């Protein structure tokens, strides 16, 4: 994976940068320059790629962040913002010549406002901590990425993270009301707030999912919802993945939007059952978990309809949770599917693409063929309701060439997603992982138009460079590429 070539001039003044950064932050220990200490930041959830940052800084106030960014901009130093580092696409991978800006100290809940059904929190608060803070009063925050116990709301906004509940309740972008952020120029701005639609260009909407390339978020206002009266889960097994996929489309086509609808294939079912004895049937090829929430009477009404639809689709097993413990057991297997698969293979890579649901049989069949072609096993666990696939490719990094084969296999899966009308990433982000595949989905002009947005916020390209875009442009050059006598303009700019 090629990253921008480290700037030797920046590396040469490392000591000076450390001294000045220590002058900016109140706690001098918040500037980390020791190699061993920096090791803690060398990768995020995509641990196949590692890079020590030049320096890590852990500020405590918005003023410190503003000063750090102003200073780095003036010194020509790149900055990588980082929350809990749970990104699965290398979005928080450090740069050898960059400052890693850790936001872990921004971990306070600032306000719980039941009158306006919202909360104001700092970006380092974990997703689950938001719900935990209001749970006793009958509220919750809807988006629930699988990593919600560890991932932070700032990171959720950077990646526009999803989760099981976003089928019914939307993604992060649909649940964030406002932010405070600092631009690379050090300016603090507020977008949105406790009110709904703000007029003017929707900068809040475009910051969400921008993978830390446009600004550093320092405060977040999120919408909270009343906790549903009842929740119930249904476990439905099918003799084939095609039948399960067909059932998903028919449930939604019948006008039912479950709170969550997840699917596991045979591989994942067996691995999960072995791992945590969730009580899954082992004689099926595909398993759906359908969660319904609302009043009991509504759950019963929909549950009956779902049973009828499932039976018509050839379901061989259907069980509805009789109590909360049983519902949690149904989910325990699904939630443990990743570590469970980890037990049956030395390594695995989790892919993330979205497809139109109707294409599921075709995609599953083609993935099976690719599995044979590459000689690597694949287990499937995914958000069936919204077509967001998470194929887990099993490999052994100790076998020479297997990681590379796995990467090629993964790329083929993502290309397949685009080919059938889907996208490269549904919730993990592009980061460095899918950066070089962006051309599969966008034309060069589409990508340039996206980069022009980057230029509006960060003209010098200092924030999180090397992520998302396959070619690093300078803003002045966008759309004006002129190759004269075979010489590229700005030959020193790395083009991946």
Residue entry with tokens 């309701």: 385
Is residue 157 within 8 Å of residue 172, measured between CB atoms?
Answer: yes
Looking at 25-114, list the stretches that DSSP marks H as alpha helix, in order from N- to C-terminal side. Answer: 35-38, 62-75
Count of beta carbons in the 10 Å neighbourhood of residue 399: 11
List strand residue ranges (DSSP E) for 151-285, in order.
Answer: 176-182, 188-192, 216-223, 225-226, 230-238, 260-265
Question: What is d(CA 366, CA 368) in angstroms, rounded to the nearest whole number?
Answer: 5
Shortest distance, CB of residue 438 to other proteins, whole angstroms?
7
Residue 6 vs 361, nearer CB to other proteins? 361
Residue 247 vs 406, nearer CB to other proteins? 247
Question: What is d(CA 382, CA 363) in angstroms, rounded to the nearest whole number?
Answer: 13
Residue 213 vs 329, nearer CB to other proteins? 213
Both tokens assigned to 309: 């639809």
Residue 317 vs 453, nearer CB to other proteins? 453
Shortest distance, CB of residue 97 to other proteins, whole angstroms?
25
Is residue 390 within 8 Å of residue 381, measured between CB atoms?
Answer: yes
Shortest distance, CB of residue 278 to other proteins, whole angstroms?
25
Shortest distance, CB of residue 226 to other proteins, whole angstroms?
5
Residue 2 vs 226, nearer CB to other proteins? 226
Kindly provide the b/e burial profile for residues 96-109, where b requires at least 16 CB atoms within 10 angstroms of the residue's own CB: bbbbbbbbeebbee
The SS3 assignment for 447 reads helix
Both tokens assigned to 82: 């980082």
Distant-in-sequence, close-in-space partners of 257: CB < 8 Å, separation ≥ 6:
167, 168, 385
Shortest distance, CB of residue 309 to other proteins, whole angstroms?
12
Shortest distance, CB of residue 445 to other proteins, whole angstroms?
5
Residue 334 vs 383, nearer CB to other proteins? 383
Distant-in-sequence, close-in-space partners of 213: CB < 8 Å, separation ≥ 6:
454, 457, 458, 463, 464, 467, 468
Shortest distance, CB of residue 327 to other proteins, whole angstroms?
17
Residue 255 vs 486, nearer CB to other proteins? 255
Residue 55 vs 381, nearer CB to other proteins? 381
Shortest distance, CB of residue 332 to other proteins, whole angstroms?
24
What does each C-alpha distance from 394 to 349, 379, 433, 451 come to in angstroms? 7, 8, 17, 35
Count of beta carbons in the 10 Å neighbourhood of residue 119: 26
Shortest distance, CB of residue 66 to other proteins, whole angstroms?
12
Both tokens assigned to 457: 């916020």
Residue 114 vs 490, nearer CB to other proteins? 114
């Amino acid at each position: 994976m090629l990253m921008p070539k480290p700037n030797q001039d920046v590396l040469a003044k490392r000591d000076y940068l450390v001294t000045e950064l220590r002058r900016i932050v109140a706690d001098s220990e918040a500037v980390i320059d020791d190699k061993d200490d920096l090791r803690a930041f060398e990768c995020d959830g995509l641990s196949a790629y590692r890079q020590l940052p030049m320096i890590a800084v852990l500020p405590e106030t918005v003023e410190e962040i503003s000063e750090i960014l102003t200073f780095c901009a003036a010194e020509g130093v790149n900055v990588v913002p980082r929350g809990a580092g749970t990104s699965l696409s290398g979005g928080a991978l450090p740069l050898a010549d960059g400052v890693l800006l850790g936001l872990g100290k921004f971990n306070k809940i600032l306000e719980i406002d039941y009158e306006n059904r919202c909360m104001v929190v700092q970006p380092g608060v974990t997703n689950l901590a938001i719900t935990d803070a209001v749970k006793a009063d009958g509220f919750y925050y809807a988006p629930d990425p699988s990593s919600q116990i560890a991932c932070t709301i700032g990171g959720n906004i950077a990646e526009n993270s999803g989760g099981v509940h976003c089928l019914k309740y939307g993604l992060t972008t649909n649940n964030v009301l406002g932010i405070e952020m600092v631009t690379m120029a050090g300016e603090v701005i507020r977008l949105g707030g406790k009110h709904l639609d703000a007029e003017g260009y929707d900068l809040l909407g475009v910051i969400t999912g921008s993978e830390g390339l446009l600004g550093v978020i320092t405060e977040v206002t999120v919408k909270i919802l009343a906790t549903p009266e009842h929740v119930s889960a249904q476990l439905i097994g099918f003799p084939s993945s095609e039948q399960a996929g067909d059932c998903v489309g028919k449930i939604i086509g019948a006008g039912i939007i479950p709170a969550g609808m997840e699917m596991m294939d045979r591989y994942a079912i067996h691995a999960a059952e072995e791992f945590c004895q969730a009580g899954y049937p082992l004689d099926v090829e595909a398993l759906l978990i359908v969660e319904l929430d609302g009043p009991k009477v509504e759950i019963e009404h929909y549950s009956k309809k779902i049973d009828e639809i499932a039976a018509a689709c050839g379901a061989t097993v259907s069980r509805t949770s009789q109590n909360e413990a049983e519902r949690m057991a149904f989910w325990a297997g699904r939630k443990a599917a990743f570590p469970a698969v980890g037990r049956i293979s030395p390594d695995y890579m989790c892919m993330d693409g979205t497809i139109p649901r109707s294409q599921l049989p075709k995609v599953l069949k083609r993935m099976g063929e690719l599995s044979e072609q590459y000689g690597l096993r694949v287990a499937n666990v995914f958000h069936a309701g919204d077509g967001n696939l998470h194929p887990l490719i099993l490999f052994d990094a100790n076998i020479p060439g297997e990681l590379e084969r796995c990467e090629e296999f993964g790329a083929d899966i993502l290309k397949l997603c685009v080919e059938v009308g889907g996208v490269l990433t549904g919730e993990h982000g592009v980061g460095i992982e899918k950066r070089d595949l962006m051309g599969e989905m966008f034309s060069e002009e589409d990508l340039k138009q996206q980069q022009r947005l980057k230029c509006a916020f960060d003209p010098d390209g200092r924030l999180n460079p090397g992520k998302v875009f396959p070619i690093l442009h300078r803003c002045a050059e966008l759309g004006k590429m002129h190759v004269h006598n075979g010489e590229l303009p700005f030959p020193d700019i790395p083009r991946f």
